[in-house]
């Protein structure tokens, strides 16, 4: 894979890629983030105000990291992913509720969840307006959607280091460690699919969210965006 997939093929390409990566994905995430990815997830859970008894959806759950962290707060966590192999890996790791499904048509009743969290997944979705609309539909009024994603630092030195890591080092390290260089080429480039801060704000507001705010982490290399369902 030398280029990002076209919109009409993206969903199939992404599903097949994550099916391949599933057995090694969690270990590679921890390695490539130097073990900081779960710290960022905890920050997102704090910003979403996840508490005991809440119903929480881990959207595009992968192997279930977010869901397990929510469950550790005694929340009732459900994980959903498009990749059957990711769901199988999540189920092998714990006894939580994991389902295969599409973010464009969530298999849950209106107003079911108190919070939705999603980590490093927005760039893999197609039809972001529809995805955010589905999130709003299954959230209770006042419920929160928290998005954890990559970003580009504003500082020139940090931006140069960030670019070097994502463009050069990550595909090589990820490819060597996972045996799947194409997948890590895609992951290193997929930030191009992400909206900027104002684009994210429009998605939140357009889907029915207020009190939208954004917190940069790691000098701006990571971001958490949160909105509250009207």
Structure tokens at 174: 């990820």
Q: How far apart are the C-alpha atoms of 38 and 44, rounded to whole Å? A: 10
Total-model pTM: 0.95
The answer for residues whose C-beta is within 8 angstroms of residue 164's C-beta and 6 or more apart is none
- 78 and 98 in contact (C-beta within 8 Å)? yes
Q: What is the pLDDT of residue 2?
A: 54
Count the Cβ atoms, other than its own, within 10 Å of residue 95. Answer: 7
Q: What is the pLDDT of residue 17?
A: 96
Domain 7-152+194-229 has CATH 3.40.50.150: yes
Count the Cβ atoms, other than its own, within 10 Å of residue 127. Answer: 13
Taking 3-state DSSP, the helix, strand and coil percentages for the chain, each rounded to the nearest 5, stand at: 50, 25, 25
For 113, phi then psi, to 5°, come to -105, 150
Sign of CA dihedral 104, 230, 99, 108: negative
Block mean pLDDT (10 aa), the chain, length 230 = 84 96 92 94 99 99 98 99 98 97 98 99 97 99 99 91 84 86 90 96 98 97 98
List alpha helices for the chain, DSSP H.
7-32, 37-47, 65-71, 84-93, 128-138, 156-164, 170-178, 181-189, 197-207
For 53, phi then psi, to 5°, come to 90, -15
Structure tokens at 159: 């931006």
Strands 113-119 and 209-217: unpaired
Q: What is the pLDDT of residue 1?
A: 54
Domain chopping of the chain, boundaries: 7-152+194-229
């Amino acid at each position: 894979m030398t280029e990002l997939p076209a919109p009409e093929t993206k969903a199939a390409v992404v599903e097949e890629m994550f099916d391949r990566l599933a057995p090694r994905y969690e270990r590679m995430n921890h390695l490539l983030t130097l073990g900081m990815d779960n710290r960022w997830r905890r920050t997102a859970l704090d910003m979403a105000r996840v508490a005991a008894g809440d119903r929480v959806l881990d959207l595009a759950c992968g192997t279930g990291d977010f869901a397990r962290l929510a469950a550790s707060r005694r929340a009732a966590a459900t994980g959903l992913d498009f990749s059957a192999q990711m769901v199988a890996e999540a189920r092998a790791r714990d006894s939580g509720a994991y389902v295969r499904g599409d973010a464009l048509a969530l298999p849950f009743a209106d107003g079911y969840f108190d919070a939705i969290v999603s980590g490093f997944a927005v760039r893999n979705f197609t039809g972001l307006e529809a995805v955010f609309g589905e999130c709003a539909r299954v959230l209770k009024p006042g419920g929160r959607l928290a998005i954890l994603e990559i970003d580009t630092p504003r500082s020139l030195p940090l931006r140069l280091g960030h670019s070097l890591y994502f463009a050069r080092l990550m595909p090589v390290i990820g490819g060597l460690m996972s045996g799947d260089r194409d997948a890590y080429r895609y992951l290193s480039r997929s930030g191009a699919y992400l909206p900027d801060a104002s684009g994210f704000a429009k998605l939140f507001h357009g889907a029915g969210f207020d009190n939208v705010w954004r917190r940069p982490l790691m000098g701006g290399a990571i971001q958490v965006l949160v909105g509250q369902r009207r």
